Amino acid sequence: MDIDGVEKLMRPGLAAMRGYDPVEPIDVLERELGRRIIKLDGNENPYLSSPRAREVLARFPYYHIYPDPLQRNLRQALSGYTGFPEESIVCGNGSDDLIDLVLRLFVRPGEEVLNCPPTFGMYPFTVSVCGGTLVDVPRVADFDLDIDGLRSAVTERTRVIFIASPNNPTGGTVTRNEVLELLRAGHVVAVDEAYYEFGESSVAALVPDNPNLIVLRTFSKWAGLAGLRVGYALCHERIAAYLLKIKQPYNVNVAGEAAAIASLQDVEYLRGNVEKLKRERDRLFAQLSQLSWMKPFPSQANFLLCRVAEKDGAGTTTAAKRLRDGLRKRGILVRFYESPGLRDCLRISAGLPEDTDALLAALEEVWNEA
């Protein structure tokens, strides 16, 4: 059989599907640009992980042993952190893994998942991989959710609605009442609170009374463990039992588990870093607001989305893209999106104070020459 024949055996749709647009690895870029990179494109934590987590990993004696498929120690530690019983907690290889598990649990090929763009690209990606049908209900002015639009998009084939709160890349949160309205529509509402620690709001308190609500969280952002991949879901204990049953047995590896537990013993230190990043986000917001050609949107996360004005007679590339390219040449990475509605925007992660200073200086320079 030749490779064309093999390709014909694949599930139709997967060959044509659009892959996920990942950010570039820092070491590859540092080699390419030959300089230190200021990385403000991945919403990572520049304060690194907790020293306690790094110490535990350096001395960890069991790398040769498989992890606990039932994640008992980590779920117990998370129970202390969240106030949820262990039976209502399931951990994943990052919250990306939980997005995948939720869709695999509820969505059969052809069934529908509601998505509210602009939002996190893993929802459309994962819906495609599991053969579901994505139904986009775009956000309205200033990126608020279109609750009426969502209600009227519900059909008998709807299974899940995904809402990121705070939303990536727009930074706003969903309200408790909006979630309650969506829960009433009778399908699963997955609220992705990856940036929960940077904002003031959560809908997790609604989980005990609403078995169709699943809240997702992660250690990637506040705890600086993006590279170790640990996320978790808070949900009804029966849903948690199904998620535990269908997940890969060793989805959270021993290093991720040990580092996450150590982080939960170092919450005060990590909260200090979160506060520093919130201050830097707010300082960046204030500084960008001074520029007549930048409009930052308020954010409850560790990043800001900014709309960039167009310059007269500057060609077809958007000013946002030219800024991204100019900053990149100076070793500063920010996120630009080709997707409709975002081509005039940049997403900038909160960084160290010196990163903000370097960014602000470079932005003016690039704008003046672009």
Ligand X SMILES: Cc1ncc(COP(=O)(O)O)c(C=O)c1O
Q: How far is CA 132 from CA 111, 112, 179, in A?
A: 5, 6, 23
Min CB(15)–ligand X separation in Å: 25
Among 100, 192, 257, 280, binds ligand X (CB under 6 A): 192
Q: Provide the sign of the torsion angle of the four alpha carbons 58, 64, 65, 69, taken in this order.
A: positive
Among 43, 45, 49, 82, binds ligand X (CB under 6 A): 43
Q: Which of 99, 348, 362 is nearest to 215 (CA)?
A: 99
Scanning residues 217 to 236, which ones bind ligand X (CB under 6 A)? 218, 220, 226, 231
Min CB(313)–ligand X separation in Å: 36
Residue nearest ligand X (C-beta atom):
94
By three-state DSSP, how is residue 119 classified? Answer: coil
Please tell me the distance from the alpha carbon of residue 173 to that of residue 200, in angstroms, as a whole number.
9
Given the complex with ligand X, which of 57 and 226 has the nearer CB atom?
A: 226
Min CB(150)–ligand X separation in Å: 18
Classify residue 68 by burial, with Cβ atoms within 10 Å: 0-12, 13-18, 19+: middle
Given the complex with ligand X, which of 231 and 351 has the nearer CB atom?
A: 231
Binding characters for ligand X, 103-142, by CB under 6 A (x = yes): -----------------x----------------------
Please tell me the distance from the alpha carbon of residue 4 to that of residue 73, in angstroms, as a whole number.
48
Given the complex with ligand X, which of 84 and 196 has the nearer CB atom?
A: 196
Min CB(41)–ligand X separation in Å: 11
Min CB(164)–ligand X separation in Å: 4
Q: Which residues pair with 346 in a beta bridge?
A: 306, 336
The region of 50-58, 88-96, 203-211, 324-332 touching ligand X under the rule CB under 6 A is 88-96
Pinpoint the alpha helices (H) of the chain. Answer: 3-8, 26-33, 51-59, 72-82, 94-106, 122-129, 147-153, 176-184, 237-246, 254-264, 267-289, 319-329, 353-369
Given the complex with ligand X, which of 214 and 366 has the nearer CB atom?
A: 214
Q: Does 178 bind ligand X (CB under 6 A)?
A: no
Among 161, 164, 233, 258, binds ligand X (CB under 6 A): 164
Q: Which of 13, 37, 9, 62 is nearest to 258 (CA)?
A: 62
By three-state DSSP, how is residue 234 classified? Answer: strand
Among 49, 77, 86, 96, binds ligand X (CB under 6 A): 96
Quickly tell me which residue has 């579901």 as its tokens.
132
Please tell me the distance from the alpha carbon of residue 176 to that of residue 200, in angstroms, as a whole number.
12
Binding characters for ligand X, 279-308, by CB under 6 A (x = yes): ------------------------------
Quickly tell me which residue has 């952190």 as its tokens.
81
Q: Does 46 bind ligand X (CB under 6 A)?
A: no
Close Cβ partners of 248 (under 8 Å, ≥ 6 residues apart): 93
Min CB(162)–ligand X separation in Å: 9
Given the complex with ligand X, which of 22 and 186 has the nearer CB atom?
A: 22
Min CB(226)–ligand X separation in Å: 5
The total of other beta-carbon atoms located within 10 Å of residue 250's CB is: 13
Q: Provide the sign of the torsion angle of the four alpha carbons 116, 118, 119, 124, taken in this order.
A: positive
Q: Does 95 bind ligand X (CB under 6 A)?
A: yes
Min CB(119)–ligand X separation in Å: 7
- Interface with ligand X (CB under 6 A): 43, 94-96, 120, 164, 168, 192, 194, 218, 220, 226, 231
